[in-house]
Amino acid sequence: MSRKARAVINLEAIRDNYRLARSLAPENRAVAIVKADAYGHGAVRVAEYLEPEVDAFGVACIEEAIILRDGGIQKPVLLLEGFFDPSELPQLVEQNFWTAIHSEFQIDQLAQLPDDSELTVWLKMDSGMHRLGVLPENYAAAYQRLQALPQVKEVVMMSHFSSADDLSDQTTLRQVEVFARATEGLDGEVSIANSPATLGWPQARGNILRPGLMMYGASPFTESQENAARLKPAMSLLSEVIAVREIEAGESVGYSATWTAEKTSRIGTVAMGYGDGYPRHAKNGTPVLVNGVRTSIIGRVSMDMITVDLTDVPNAEVGAEVEFFGDNLSINEVAGWCDTIPYTMMTCLTPRILRVYG
């Protein structure tokens, strides 16, 4: 390997985080969410590793589901956004893809399939997110309609939370309440819990969990939380110093000269940039580890390079290892410095970042 920008992925940590989700609701089943290439961790590799112990996988769309099947994954795959076009339906039947149903017109389309289709569908309710789903007042009717279709084998009731990542926001409990009222008397399994609900809202776990972010070892919360503190980071974004120079006080570094040395300073240039998916919005002062020592990013992130302050890391020479986040530096902390969230830090990594499985 020449350029050393890489993400080291710890599959065991992903499995342990998945097990943590299961242990928080031991009676529940779980769909492991591997959409967006398993949040940048490699969907087929992650799914292969987890397949012996998960009930199903969750992806956004049929293209992502097919990648799993082509990779040899045999467990059911849930399409969280459902199908976009009825031409997808025969393949759902053939490949045992489960589909979210978010609108009545999709039920009309299902009804056109052969009677022996044996589809598993997840009827989504809009309990307050107002993005996707059947409205609460129409939910029971849609549910009963699906139950009555010969093409449908099972209907799971699902919804999604808008604000479960904020433990002081009562919106989650209101959504639970809306969901409970609209599904009263309906008999079937319930799936409402994403990572924040799984970790922090015992009242909102339903029967089937849908953990995503937490499997990859990041906390969905901005504040510390007991269960989230038990997560193990699954990805370390690493590279190395490729050049070192000393500059005088008053000299600036990088595009637009946004950082100026106040004293004689040692500057390291690292092979990582926004072309790798590292956020360009990282502020001066964003933490980074060089040879295990905490220092900071200075100047603008450019496409292929980042400059770091090595003034207090005198032993760091060309070849010194740099950790941008991972085992020793929390992705949550770094995301805060970049005005973003761990979800984007993981999913924005580009194909130029080599994924190495440890």
* Residue of 9, 80, 101, 242 interacting with ligand PLP (CB under 6 A): 80
**CB neighbours of residue 152 within 10 Å:** 21
Kindly state whether residue 217 participates in binding ligand PLP, applying the rule CB under 6 A.
Answer: no
C-beta closer to ligand PLP: residue 16 or 304: 16
Exposed e or buried b per residue across 240-272, where buried means at least 16 C-beta atoms within 10 angstroms of its C-beta: bbbebeeeeeeeebbeeeebebeeebbbbbbbb
* Residue of 40, 206, 212, 287 interacting with ligand PLP (CB under 6 A): 212
DSSP 177-230: HHHHHHTTT--S-EE-B-HHHHHH-GGG--SEE---GGGGT--S-SS--TTGGG
> What is the token pair recorded at 133?
């789903």
The CA distances from residue 107 to 138, 143, 144, in Å, are: 13, 10, 11
* Residue of 10, 195, 236, 295 interacting with ligand PLP (CB under 6 A): 195
C-beta closer to ligand PLP: residue 214 or 334: 214
> What is the token pair recorded at 152?
């449908």
Stretch that binds ligand PLP, among 4-12, 206-214, 304-312, 316-324 (CB under 6 A): 206-214
Tell which positions 120-149 bind ligand PLP, by CB under 6 A. Answer: none
Shortest separation between residue 74's beta carbon and ligand PLP, angstroms: 22
User: How far is Cα of residue 117 from the mean position of the Cα atoms in its chain?
Assistant: 32
Shortest separation between residue 197's beta carbon and ligand PLP, angstroms: 8
C-beta closer to ligand PLP: residue 296 or 347: 347
Shortest separation between residue 218's beta carbon and ligand PLP, angstroms: 9
**Which residues lie near ligand PLP (CB under 6 A)?**
33, 35, 80, 160, 194-195, 210-214, 220
Catalytic residue IDs: 35, 255
